[in-house]
Chain A
Amino acid sequence: MKTIVIGAGLGGLLSAARLSKAGHEVEVFERLPITGGRFTNLSYKGFQLSSGAFHMLPNGTGGPLARLLREIGADVDIVRSEMTTIRVPLKKGNSDYVKGFKDISFNDFPSLLSYKDRMKIALLIVSTRKNHPAGSTLQAWIKSQVNDEWLIRFADSFCGWALSLKSDEVPVEEVFEIIENMYRFGGTGVPKGGCKGVIDALEAVILANGGKIHTGQEVSKILVENGKAAGVVAESNKHEADLVISNLGHAATVLLCGEALSGKADAGYLKMLETLQPSAGIKICLAADEPLVGHSGVLLTPYTRRINGINEVTQADPELAPPGKHLTMCHQYVAPENVKNLESEIEMGLVDIKEIFPGKRYEVLLIQSYHDEWPVNRAASGTDPGNETPFSGLYVVGDGAKGKGGIEVEGVALGVVSVMGKILS
């Protein structure tokens, strides 16, 4: 069985590694000179920044990605995060951190509510595990249950950090799938060596099983014969295959199929593609001599203009920065209407950081923004259209085809698992 993978992002490499292990003859074509897509390291001034991700696996050592890596035999050491904390103003009612703040543990979020609402939340935590709410956005659902501004801020910072969305953009079903997965799999973790630690381990498996990875080779066409994928054209050379897996998201994949797609027969699929919205975000990378966050998990910051959350990966792997330095990365959601105002969005993020870390010394290393063709997430969580295409033998993997309830790379892994189930069964 010959399989061609288009794109050496996380989804592509996971698929290639799994299939090469199962005995497929695998060939990966990547357009860039480097592999890993939005999940690898960028060396900058001695720091291991990243091409996208915050070097963080949403469900850590027990999550779908960690499980798939173990199944593949990819040797990755994942450091479990100590905790998730939330920075809140000292006095309830203050709308920012300027007059002082404290950090509370994630699970203590109800402590900021009135006694009555705390009871209500306690009951909801039990009842919603059996019956997940459905049919509205997270924000509308919260408002229908408990009317407290804090909960909306909390929900927005969590959705902003984890999904680069606002709580009024996320279907409540998806959030409860995510919560269920947090119970099932556990919280965040950081792979040793950062994102590239994962990518290197996957490449080692592919190469050990005789697979090939070509960088600097762009695929310009997917060959389709009688409704079935038959290979690709890369840099003017034709490569035949029994299966083609695309890591590019549905829209870009379809563009490569050209005339094979019949407007009439595939109208439903094409219409669905139009509804897909990539999510946008900004990452501000800081260098500091002293820890700014102080633990290896996420610090959520609901009382800012823009910054949703921050992590300090050197708490988990000090080698991601020069000796004695810390690498701290701040994430902010960008609303679709603000993608054209990135500079002013960034300015607000920088002011937020000053207020979150008053009196601390840090250097802004690099400011990275992501949207449209190179987004945080190709399909906003909860809108993923699955992995199948109108053609047999052509599957889509990656964050444009995530599995249900999987945050970011966990969703990428769930999507890959589902495709592997179809191919290898």
Chain B
Amino acid sequence: MKINDNCVGCGQCASFCKKGAIEVKGKARATDACVECGLCIPYCPVKAIEVTA
């Protein structure tokens, strides 16, 4: 998955990721722990998380 410029850094995705794979500081960033499960995507309030092909 990819986090685009819409991200405000609210951390909502980080609380739903079961792998602890999102770090947030002004913007969210997926770490190497991300397994591309896509679970976090619908929880973003500003549609900043995109599926990568």
Contact = CB atoms under 8 A, between A and B. Distances in A.
Contact of B43 (A32, A43, A342, A343): A32
Contacts of A37: 45
A371 B27 CA distance: 11
B9 A369 contact: yes
A51 B13 CA distance: 10
B12 A372 contact: no
B36 to A, nearest CB: 19
Contacts of A373: 6, 8, 45-46
Contacts of B37: none
Interface in A100-133: none
Interface string A334-374: 00000000110110000000000000000000111111111
Nearest to A372: B8
A1 interface: no
Contacts of B42: 32-33, 216
Interface in A1-36: 32-34
Contacts of A366: 11, 14-15, 24
Contacts of A367: 9, 11, 24-26
B41 to A, nearest CB: 10
B10 A374 contact: yes
A368 B45 CA distance: 13
A269 interface: no
Could you say which interface size class chain B belongs to?
Answer: 10 to 19
A374 B6 CA distance: 10
B8 A370 contact: yes
Contacts of A372: 8, 46
B14 A343 contact: no
Contacts of B12: 42, 51
B46 A374 contact: yes
Contacts of B46: 372-374
B11 A343 contact: no
B31 to A, nearest CB: 14
Contacts of B11: 42, 44, 49, 366-368
A348 to B, nearest CB: 12
Given A32-B43, A368-B10, A370-B8, A343 B26 contact: yes
Interface string B38-53: 0000110110000000
Given A33-B43, A342-B26, A343-B25, A43 B15 contact: yes
Nearest to A342: B26
B52 to A, nearest CB: 21
Nearest to B22: A366
A342 B10 contact: no
Contacts of A368: 9-11, 24
Contacts of A216: 42
A43 B12 CA distance: 10
17 contacts: A37-B45, A42-B12, A42-B16, A44-B15, A49-B11, A342-B25, A343-B26, A346-B26, A366-B14, A367-B24, A367-B25, A368-B9, A368-B24, A369-B8, A369-B9, A373-B8, A373-B46
Closest 9 CB pairs of A and B: A342-B26, A369-B9, A42-B15, A368-B11, A44-B15, A343-B26, A373-B46, A374-B45, A374-B8
Interface of B: 6, 8-12, 14-16, 24-27, 42-43, 45-46
Interface of A: 32-34, 37, 42-44, 49, 51-52, 216, 342-343, 345-346, 366-374
